[in-house]
Amino acid sequence: MNRIESAGTGKRALARPTTLFGLVLVCLVGASLVTAQSAEAQTPARPGLGQRVVLVTGSTGGLGREVARRLASGGAHVIVHGRNRERGMELVAEIESEGIGSARFYRADLASFDQVRDFAEAILRDYDRLDVLINNAGIGSTPNERLLSEDGHELRFQVNYLSGFLLTHMLMPRLLASTPSRIVNVSSLAQRPIDFDDVMIENDFSGGRAYAQSKLAQVLFTIDLAEELEGTGVTATSLHPATYMDTGMVRRAGVRPRTTVAEGADAVMHLVMSDGIENGQFFNGLRPSRANAQAYDGEARARLRRLSEELTGVR
């Protein structure tokens, strides 16, 4: 059985006029609530005509959930993703009850490349467009323990970076078919250069190092993507949303939150909605910023790309 579950609603959708989302189009697309176990058993997702489709990974909680809510309130069809089906379905129901946007939940564990591939294939099957991909799902620096993914890779490197690399490449045909489209990679100011002699951190492991390496890898990937996609109409940016937002990740680390999820969501929405954003740029909140020096080292980016292609099978 396919490991990907999906469930959601197709409904009357109002796409509000914004600089990115264009003119208002109202479409009746029928209503359905789908709760089968396998994506194969689902009725197709049905965003309305002119309704933007946005995938937010890790939108069952924290920052991703708030971003998904805001996008749906603006009229988008949101692909809600995470591992926790109950929280995913709660959000779909909330979006449905608001009556503006629409949503559908897909369950996939980013610690498994097979699940990422099944997830991407389900999206390619169910949607003929993808306007925005927000790679937000992630695990923090706790537990301070070296854990491995299903594929045998250092867990944070796979969940926070490699799986986003794989998902983005697999969904590229839909992003290219939906230009102008955007990729937003939710990184962090916690950044540590990748040691190419020990990418899986077999020596001197710490959860903080693993987290910071994976977050910088996302920034290298973003700059690379921006170069690759130049002139196609697909843009890529990355950001540090806000420092110690009040989310599960921060609370699990035993850190006292310093900012709100709303502040981080403002920063993500800025990259999703605003005009004049420079392709490949890293942002600290709402401001263009400079990432760790390794991000601007073309050789390091090429090395990371080759390694990521090898590990994920992307060509």
Residues that bind ligand NAP (CB under 6 A): 58-64, 82-84, 87, 109-111, 136-139, 159, 186, 188, 240-241, 243-245, 247-250
C-alpha–C-alpha distance, residues 195 and 200, integer Å: 9
Nearer CB in complex with ligand NAP: 10/241: 241
Contact 219, 232 (CB under 8 A): no
| Smallest gap from residue 95 Cβ to ligand NAP (A) | 15
Omega before residue 180 within 30° of 0, cis: yes
DSSP secondary structure letter of residue 20: T
Parallel, antiparallel, or unpaired: how do β-strands 287-289 and 282-284 relate?
antiparallel
Contact 135, 116 (CB under 8 A): no
Q: Which of 243, 238, 244 is nearest to 224 (CA)?
A: 238
| Smallest gap from residue 135 Cβ to ligand NAP (A) | 8
Nearer CB in complex with ligand NAP: 29/171: 171
Active-site residue, selected from the candidate residues 106, 127, 161, 211: 211
Nearer CB in complex with ligand NAP: 199/267: 267
User: Which residue number is nearest to ligand NAP in terms of Cβ?
Assistant: 62
| Smallest gap from residue 158 Cβ to ligand NAP (A) | 8
**C-alpha 85, offset from chain centre:** 17
| Smallest gap from residue 218 Cβ to ligand NAP (A) | 8
C-alpha–C-alpha distance, residues 4 and 83, integer Å: 10
211 assigned to active site: yes
What tokens appear for 303 in the block? 């090395």
Omega before residue 143 within 30° of 0, cis: yes
What tokens appear for 200 in the block? 């899986």
Nearer CB in complex with ligand NAP: 241/280: 241
| Smallest gap from residue 260 Cβ to ligand NAP (A) | 10
C-alpha–C-alpha distance, residues 225 and 214, integer Å: 16
C-alpha–C-alpha distance, residues 200 and 203, integer Å: 9
| Smallest gap from residue 111 Cβ to ligand NAP (A) | 4
C-alpha–C-alpha distance, residues 30 and 41, integer Å: 18
What is the sign of the dihedral through the CA atoms of 277, 259, 89 and 161? positive
Nearer CB in complex with ligand NAP: 175/242: 242
| Smallest gap from residue 179 Cβ to ligand NAP (A) | 25
C-alpha–C-alpha distance, residues 90 and 186, integer Å: 23
> Which residue type, as a one-letter code, is found at position 76?
A
Distance set, CA 312 to CA 3, 152, 227 (Å): 18, 12, 21
Nearer CB in complex with ligand NAP: 48/61: 61
Return the active site residues: 211
